Amino acid sequence: MKNIVVLVSGGGTNLQALINAEKSGIIKNGKITCVISSNPEAYALERAKNNGIDTDVIRRRDYKEFSDYDKALTALLRSKNADLIVLAGFMTILGKEVISAFENRIINIHPALIPSFCGEGFYGLKVHEKALEKGVKVTGATAHFVTEECDGGPIIIQKAVDIKNGDTPEILQKRVMEEAEWKILPRAVSLFCEDKIKVIGNKTEIL
């Protein structure tokens, strides 16, 4: 059974999707053992507590140097015996140390079809604002491994979502979550826990 540690910053609907998937048996061979937030006020922490999951908080601003924050987060994740780390709406960029300590063991959910609308500055609602500004007809979500290149790591699963007349960033965000994120993130996590993802260079093969 693999220990899953989920990193969050906000509302935690993706965390909730993971908790529900674990309960209903969609996630095989994995258990959410800890939720770590960058923000002590995050509602995601309530969701964890309501489900009896251990919680912790680590704030970037409590460390003067980024490298000290990076070291502290790496040590915290090691102390939790994390086999898999899931970034579920985690809004702090990860450093080199944590990424190399957990190579191909960190999964992120991004609310667009990478390589569109991704990279630095593309997070949360902004991603949907940009997609609507561009006038694309299809967007979606991507579950991928985290590397030093922001949103550039090996893609595990993607799911497309149609854009409709009258969409606002908020309406689109909700549809992308419901139709894509909440489905593909638990699936990607289960595939990892079942050792069914083979990483070949910057690509993956699902076994």
Active-site amino acid positions: 110
Say whether residue 89 binds ligand GAR (CB under 6 A): yes
Residue 192 identity (one-letter amino acid): F
Which tokens is 76 given? 């915290």
Residue among 182, 181, 176, 169 nearest 126 (CA):
169
Say whether residue 13 binds ligand GAR (CB under 6 A): yes
Among 30, 111, 154, 186, binds ligand GAR (CB under 6 A): 111
Per-residue binding letters, 41-80, with ligand GAR (x by CB under 6 A): ---x------------------------------------
What is the distance between the alpha carbons of residues 97 and 67, in angstroms, rounded to a whole number? 8
State the nearest-atom distance from the C-beta of 89 to ligand GAR, in Å: 3
74: helix, strand or coil = helix
Residue 50 identity (one-letter amino acid): N
Say whether residue 127 binds ligand GAR (CB under 6 A): yes
Say whether residue 152 binds ligand GAR (CB under 6 A): no
Q: Give one DSSP letter per residue of 153-166, joined into a string.
A: SPEEEEEEEE--TT
| Contact footprint for ligand GAR (CB under 6 A) | 10-14, 44, 88-89, 109-111, 123-124, 127, 177, 181
